[in-house]
Amino acid sequence: MKKQLRRFFVMTVAVLGLATAATAQVEDNTHRPYKGFSWGYCTYYAAQVFDRFAAAEGGIDWRGNGGMWLRAAQEKGWQTSTNPRDARVGAIIVWQNDGRGHVGVVDDVYPDGILISEMNWRVNSDGDATGGFNRISQSFLPFSTNLDRGVRRRYFFAGFIFPERAATARKGFSTQDARGTGRQIRTVDAVSRPRVVRKGRP
């Protein structure tokens, strides 16, 4: 009994500590939607960051919940990929599940995985307290998982949306640049996104 109480106490302190750290990441209290995407949700954050990469292409011009974004972007003529190894800095990553799905943004690409930032990745989504409503958090996702995630509720990788339309995609881009050189790719200026808390790769 004493061991169980001690274990419960340690787990409670750990969770509260994580929750306290995440509380400082509240990003925006204006409550204003962005391009029709409600404040505080994953789509709200991903749309703003993506638009800074895709400004020359006019930015996001689709709607819907996160899980609908891949098909919606394809229908609007955006370049996409369903290959996890095609990850590129600035791309939107889309997950699907039995609900609304989820989206985030690729921050860095490594030979063994990617670093993503996201908003509204809840405690009950992955068994941790790294994010939450209107909070930006970062996670490292290994390619060995096929970029699927979630413990209590599974989210399955659906694909990437790149910040350029298929008709005007840059020629000469090789996914080798993003995955095979053994070097860390950092092309995102810290001021190019809404106050991402950079924790680095685990």
pLDDT (tens digit, 9 = 90+) per residue, 53-85? 999 898 999 999 999 999 999 999 999 999 999
Report the mean per-residue pLDDT for the chain: 74
CA distances from 19 to 13, 14, 124, 202 (A): 10, 9, 12, 19
Task: Report the SS3 class of residue 110.
Answer: strand
Category of 113 on φ-ψ map: left (φ > 0), alpha (ψ -120 to 50) or beta: left
Closest CA to 125 of 153, 146, 97, 95: 153
Write out pLDDT tens, residues 105-131: 999 999 999 999 999 886 545 555 456
Mean pLDDT, residues 13-24: 33
Residue 18 is predicted with a pLDDT of 33
What value does the mean pLDDT take over residues 17-42? 63
Q: Which of 202, 46, 15 is nearest to 136 (CA)?
A: 46
Lookup: tokens for 33 = 């939607």
Higher pLDDT: 198 or 68? It is 68
User: Confidence class of residue 169 from pLDDT cuts 50, 70 and 90?
Assistant: low
